[in-house]
Amino acid sequence: MAYSDKVIDHYENPRNVGTLDKADPNVGTGLVGAPACGDVMRLQLKISDEGIIEDAKFKTFGCGSAIASSSLVTEWVKGKTVDQAMTISNKDVARELALPPVKIHCSVLAEDAIKAAIEDFKKKRESRQQKA
């Protein structure tokens, strides 16, 4: 299967690979997918108290398109507000990377990862507020 230039670029020079401190109250972690299905994405977002995404890191087990999808969304979410990030859809990712139909699930996973990370952050904040 031939890959688009953008997939190859993100795959060969992935942006923002890495790990943020899970214990940091400002870090939300999204872990989506399943090893048995051949792809797992972990997206971590560092979100300021004002709701701005200050940093994003990912690690992905999956094919080239899955790696490229996660790399792309880390670039997109940085500097955005949580609400803006929530509007990123898999279609945007698929279009930007010119994913073929069999790879659409990779972009779906990237969207899910953003939502899961934000969800995790919100949960953390709630439990913090309850304690306070």
Partner 1 sequence: MLKLPIYMDNHATTPMDPRVLEAMMPYLREDFGNAASRNHPFGWKAEAAVEQARKQVAALIGASDKELVFTSGATESDNLAIKGVVEFYKDKGDHIITLKTEHKAVLDTCKRLERVRQERLDELKLMRLAQLTGAPVSRDNLAELSIKHDLDSDPVYRQWAEMPTGGARVTYLEVEKDGRIDLKKLEAAMTDKTILVSIMLANNEIGTVQPVAEIGKLCRQRGILFHCDAVQGIGKVPFNVEEMNVDLASITSHKMYGPKGVGALYVRRKPRVRIAPIIDGGGHERGMRSGTLNVAAIVGFGKAAELARLEMADESVRLLRLREKLRKGIMDQLDMVTVNGSMEHRLPGNLNISFAYVEGEALMMAIKDVAVSSGSACTSASLEPSYVLRACGVEEELAHSSIRFGLGRFNTEEEVDFVIKLMVDKVNRLREMSPLYEMAKEGIDLKSIEWTAH
CB of 56 or CB of 66, closer to partner 1 = 66
Nearer to partner 1, 39 or 120 (CB): 39
What type of residue is 65? S
Q: How many residues in total does the chain contain? A: 132
Residues 44-73 close enough to bind partner 1 by CB under 8 A: 59-64, 66-67
Q: What angle do CA 34, 19, 50 make, to 5 degrees?
A: 105
Interaction between residue 121 and partner 1 (CB under 8 A): no
Q: CA–CA distance from 116 to each of 45, 59, 94, 113 (Å)?
A: 10, 14, 19, 5
Footprint on this chain of partner 1 (rule: CB under 8 A): 1, 3, 11, 14, 17, 19, 31-42, 59-64, 66-67, 102, 105, 108-109, 112
